[in-house]
Amino acid sequence: MTLSFFNPVTAVLLIPICSAALLAALPGYLVTARLNVVASLATFLSALSLFVVERPAPGPYVLIDDLNIVFIVLNTFVGFTTSIFSASYIAHELESERLTPVYLRFYHAMYQIMMFGMNLAFVSNNIGLMWVAVEVATLTTVLMVGIYRTHAALEAAWKYFILGSVGIALALFGTILVYMAARPVMGEGQDGMVWTLLVERAANFDAALLNVAFVFLFLGYGTKVGLAPLHAWLPDAHAEGPTPISAVLSGLLLNVALYALLRFKILLAANPASIAPGPLMVTMGLVSLIFAAFMLYRRRDIKRLFAYSSIEHMGIIVFAFGMGGPLANFAGLLHMVMHSLTKSAIFYAVGHISQIKGTQRISRIRGLTVTHPALGWGLVVGVVAIAGLPPLGIFMSEFLVVSSTFARQPLLAILLVFGLLLAFGALTLRLTSVAFGEPRGSTAPADASYIPMFAHLALVLGAGIYLPAPLVVWFQHVAQLLG
């Protein structure tokens, strides 16, 4: 067996780290941009091979199970497509001299370190290691958000840094409390931090301590998910950083934080005496959804608009997982995947559009479908998808969330539908002004890479029309795991 030398888990972690070192050292834009793409592709392929190769047994640090394998593959896939988009996007930034070659080396190295952090968070079986990984991913994105060094970019990065650090501090306190709750049962040392062992014996943990721990974890990781009262960093960070970073922030980093939260939710569910995390998650989810839906109406900046849309969708997902049960969990998982794909596709379109038009102001962008048909229609499809219209994938998942809620809590379902309709209205309003009508702004031909955007949209459309049976079975199994 030659394959036995190849360990996909190590590859998923080692390729980004090694290429980050290489990218930091190499000069020259073309070489590094290509190397970034190649490294991301290699990471994606080794993540894919996790499906084929026999999984490693859960150790003290690494765990591969049905839940995180989906996220690892999604993460590396979007990381790969974003690196393609990033190559053409950054070429333009270099031409317009918003970035210098030195910053570019820094940018590429940081991109790979961020991928490393996110992959590490997904594969880690140790709640302390998971915390470290989320922290690494956050710090690298902070540096990238501030890369333009304009007033707004610095302010956004500073705000992100402060709020993110407070969030991560609360999450660490929660992690320590989980260890404290586990100690009487698990004994001292390493075992008290290993997630699989914790879940096995969670039933005997001190419930009161576990409850307090979850509140801290929820607030801490919830800050990174961008839930409503804690969301303040998100619109700024998304709007001011380079667009490839907005794409991975919305599409991936929010997922990482949510994934960490889900792991702890499973832990709590294993202890019958502890509180049900459901009501807390349902409330925060609904608040985020409705708040973001109202905020969508007043946005004048196109990237900020889609940042608020990310808050809205995170609200829906947290709501779905808060409702719990096989159907709502299934819907939540599907929605997470669909949102990642759609939102990053939208940011690819928005990135090229704002480069061509030289502005992010919605009022200065008009008639895109006339001047730039491919970009314009791509954006139309993306917004139609994110607004939850059939036949695209998000319609499916939203429909499942709503129908499962109607079956159990009709009153909550009314609030949910109200929020969805509100957001739908705002998005259509903005879309018609941007995509149709008399063209305004520059009509220079776009030097864009369309493949990543259309690949994502095709996947979303495909999922909306036909979900392959093995995937459905897989998701159902994971939904059961989530309880």
Which residues have C-beta within 8 Å of that of residue 442, sequence separation ≥ 6?
A: 356, 357, 358
- The helix/strand count (H/E) of the chain reads as 20, 0
Check: CB of residue 305 under 8 Å from CB of residue 296.
yes
297 part of the interface to other proteins, by CB under 8 A: no
What is the residue-wise DSSP string for 253-288? IHHHHHHHHHHHHHHHHT-TTSPPSHHHHHHHHHHH
**Tokens (6 digits) for 220:** 């801490």
The CB-of-238 to other proteins minimum distance in angstroms stands at 10
How far from chain centre, in Å, is Cα 129? 19
Nearer to other proteins, 236 or 312 (CB): 236
118 binds other proteins (CB under 8 A): no
Buried b (16+ CB within 10 A) or exposed e, 375-410: bbbbbbbbbbbbbbbeebbbbbbbebbbebbeeeee
**Residue 157 lies near other proteins (rule: CB under 8 A):** yes
d(C-alpha 162, C-alpha 184), whole Å: 35
Closest distance between other proteins and the C-beta of residue 314, in Å? 20
Judged by CB under 8 A, the number of residues near other proteins is 53
Residue 369 binds other proteins, judged by CB under 8 A: no
Under the criterion CB under 8 A, does residue 312 sit at the interface with other proteins? no
CB of 275 to other proteins, least distance (A): 12
- 135 near other proteins (CB under 8 A): yes
Establish if 160 lies at the interface with other proteins (CB under 8 A): no
Q: Which of 16, 167, 192, 376 binds other proteins (CB under 8 A)?
A: 192
Backbone angles phi, psi at 194, to 5 degrees: -85, 120
Q: Is 14 in the site for other proteins (CB under 8 A)?
A: no
C-alpha span between 202 and 240 (Å, rounded): 43
How many residues can be counted in the chain? 483
CB of 450 to other proteins, least distance (A): 28
Determine, following the binding rule CB under 8 A, whether residue 34 of this chain makes contact with other proteins: no
Tokens read off for 92? 């333009």
Task: Give yes or no for residue 292 binding other proteins (CB under 8 A).
Answer: no
Residue choice 77, 111, 161, 233 for contact with other proteins (CB under 8 A): 161
Contacts of 86 (CB under 8 A, 6+ apart): 33, 36, 111, 242, 244
- Work out which of 98, 183, 201, 440 binds other proteins, going by CB under 8 A: 183
Q: Is residue 93 part of the contact set for other proteins (CB under 8 A)?
A: no
Eight-state DSSP code of residue 252: I
The verdict on 119 binding other proteins (CB under 8 A) reads no
**257 near other proteins, rule: CB under 8 A:** no
Binding mask 348-367 for other proteins (x = CB under 8 A): -------------x------
16 near other proteins, judged by CB under 8 A: no
Quick one: 149 or 408, whose CB is closer to other proteins?
149
* Inter-residue contact 242 to 144 (CB < 8 Å): yes
> What is the binding site for other proteins (CB under 8 A)?
126, 128-129, 131-132, 135, 139, 142-143, 146, 149, 151-152, 154-158, 161-162, 165-166, 168-170, 172-173, 175-177, 179-180, 183-184, 187-190, 192-193, 206, 208-209, 211-212, 235-236, 239-240, 300-301, 304, 361
